[in-house]
Amino acid sequence: MEMRHYIRAVGLMRTILATLLTDTLVSCSTIPDPIKDNIKYPHTFHDVGYLEKYGRIAFDDVADLTVDLTKLVYSDKDGILEIKFEIVEDIAYEKLFFTDPNNYVVISYKDGLSSKKAMFTAFKYNGWFGGTSEIDQVILHAYGQYKVRTQK
């Protein structure tokens, strides 16, 4: 008799944990799928980590990243980083550090004669449950729209 109660309790606990985990993962998304059909620009992501250089352990800051159809704007307590799509050379979605659970959106761009990188990652739930892929999709969609408009 006691074993049956134990099995029911374990089953109930599994159901509760699965529900909580699913709710947590789904709540990382701020835009319903498909993103390209539901995004409205400008779109602002909150709690975004930013790195300027590879190999840095600490983030320069965690603040807001706004994406519109012509540029990205990262605004933190130290100022504003604006990257216009016209100077973007590449957009990648990759893992920078072996032990980091997050991927990063890496924007390679020209600044005068030099090349620079801006690396962004979602910091929701301390980065453990995603959000960065959504940032990547929103940026890629906006960049694609920019390219279509400027090639005409």
Q: Are 105 and 119 in contact (CB under 8 A)?
A: yes
Q: State the amino acid at position 118 in one-letter form.
A: A
Q: Verify that 3 and 55 share a domain, yes or no.
A: no
pLDDT in tens, 70-116: 999 999 888 899 999 999 999 999 887 765 667 889 999 999 999 99
Give the separation between CA 34 and CA 70, rounded to whole angstroms: 21
Q: Are 81 and 50 in contact (CB under 8 A)?
A: yes
pLDDT of residue 64: 92
pLDDT tens across 27-62, in order? 456 788 888 888 999 999 998 988 887 665 556 568
What confidence score (pLDDT) does residue 47 get? 87
- By the 10 Å C-beta count (0-12 exposed, 13-18 middle, 19+ buried), 24 is classed as middle
Q: What is the pTM of this model?
A: 0.76
Single-letter amino acid, residue 81:
L
Range of 109's domain? 32-150
Distance CA 47, CA 111 (A): 25
Q: Is the same domain home to 76 and 97?
A: yes
Domain count, the chain: 2
pLDDT score, position 93: 93
47 and 117 together in one domain: yes
